[in-house]
Homo-oligomer: A and B are copies of this chain.
Amino acid sequence: MEEDVQFELTKEFLEKFRQGIVSQNTDFIISSLENIPAADITLLLHNFNADESKYVIDQLDVVIGAEIIIDLDEDVRERFISEFSSSEIAKFVNTLDSDDAVDLLSGLPLKEREEVLAEIDDSEKEAHILDLLRYDDDSAGGLMAKELIKANVNWNVVQCIEEIRRQGEKVSKIHAVYVVDNNDTLLGRVSLRRIILSEDNVKIADIYEDNVVSVETFVDDEEVASMMQRYNLEAVPVVNVHGKLLGRITIDDIVDVITETAEEERQLMTGISADVEEKDSVWMLTKARLPWLVIGIVGGLVSAEFIKFFEEDLARIVAIAFFIPLIQATGGNVGIQSSSIVVQSLASPSVFEHGMTKRLFKVLLVSLLNGVVLALLVFGSNLLFGGTANLSIVVSIALFSVVVIASLVGTITPLILDKFEINPALASGPFITTTNDIIGLAIYFFVIHLLL
């Protein structure tokens, strides 16, 4: 009896396992992976190359093998799966739920996909997969699995239990039985608990809940995620435009959507233009990073041209140059902070009651407060470090203006992006930061030009 299956990957085990692979010690490999969850085997296999990993998977039960392959990141899976023949892949597909099967198949070249489909022995599963392949990856249709337990509203409990017995093997996680009419239109759901606690001859019609949240196939995956989060759902049925029950989405898929959305947002914010990871090739990484760096460079060159206009002022008072970094950094920091706060509240709709005016007024107040404190700080420290009173005053006035204006720009930009249905997180990214930098410099040099 094993009571705790958490698995610690030690260096010693790794070494022993590597020897097991080299010496093709099948018994050792099978016995040492017994009772270890597929997710942990996946982690373990990340330490081996594709050949070695395939050898290990070949020794394991096909169900575990399929779980491991589905567990891999999409890009790793696409490369790895080319190690397997079509009939080997078909064996994995046979054990997977339709949504996972489709994820696996959509990474295959078209010819191989057809070969795999031809070898699927369960015609219902094949039909499920063909149906799912036509939906967008990031829609409710693309997320749903076809496997679910469906009961006709006219049945009684015993018929329903019969159906669970019939379908139960195919449906890995049952949250509830969905109730439909004779046209397969979704009417509601019955929890398994309710079924357990009801007498055999009770009518489904008398025990089902009719207020059930459902989504249509075309709904965006992030919308499904926020809906399941809002209503605390563990599964949601998917229907077509006529309300016909087509599939269901479970919360574990949604957790992945939430994680990916957060990652995408971070990439937008840090200026990485494609979905790259550290393990990708040097070329991929360079390609993903260059576009945003070039935008920053163009911004820097524009700044250089801009400062050129004030060459005379600079030649007259070299100390003007000392404070360029201060002005620029503060403008950038204030802008990112402001947009970040707006992006956050756009993500949770509870503040929609505030109108634009009220919102901006508040931002103005906060920025006035911040601006005064920072300007005084800089003024004091400039005097302390032997700056002239004149320049110190001008720098502080410019800094104050930069704080106020960068706050407003940082607040308005994500709101405008959101209006045009562009991801507002972009406002914390390099493009807007670069714009803020230039605005900050412009303010600084205009103030200097006017007052010095």
Interface residues of A (CB under 8 A from B): 1-6, 35, 37, 39, 43, 46-47, 73, 76, 161, 164-165, 168, 173-174, 185-188, 191-193, 195-197, 210-214, 228-232, 234, 243, 250-252, 254-256, 258-259, 262-263, 265-267, 269-272, 276-279, 282, 285-286, 289-290, 292-294, 296-297, 299-301, 303-305, 307-308, 311, 314-315, 318-330, 332-334, 336-337, 339-345, 348-354, 359, 362, 365-366, 369-370, 373-374, 377-378, 381-382, 385, 403, 428, 430, 433-434, 437, 441
Contacts and interface: CB of A to CB of B under 8 A. Distances in A.
B187 A192 contact: no
A192 B243 CA distance: 28
Contacts of A269: 266, 269-270
9 contacts: A46-B351, A229-B259, A265-B266, A293-B333, A293-B334, A301-B385, A321-B321, A324-B324, A329-B437
A258 to B, nearest CB: 6
A187 B3 CA distance: 6
Nearest to A278: B345
Nearest to A336: B270
Contacts of A214: 3-4
A434 B333 CA distance: 10
Contacts of A303: 322, 325-326, 329
A300 B314 contact: no
B299 A351 contact: no
Contact of A304 (B252, B326, B336): B326
B232 A341 contact: no
List the number of copies, as a whole number: 2
A276 B363 CA distance: 14
B370 A293 contact: yes
A39 B2 contact: no
Nearest to A235: B234
A231 B271 contact: no
Contact of A252 (B187, B234, B343): B234
Given A174-B192, A193-B192, A336-B270, A285 B341 contact: yes
A374 B243 contact: no
A369 to B, nearest CB: 5
A374 B294 contact: yes
A332 B293 CA distance: 10
B297 A377 contact: yes
Contacts of A279: 345, 350-351, 354
B350 A73 contact: yes
B333 A282 contact: no
A7 to B, nearest CB: 10
B301 A326 contact: yes
A277 B341 contact: yes
A282 B318 contact: no
A271 B43 contact: no
Contact of A430 (B39, B292, B333, B348): B333
Contact of A192 (B37, B192, B430): B192
Nearest to A295: B333
Contacts of A263: 344
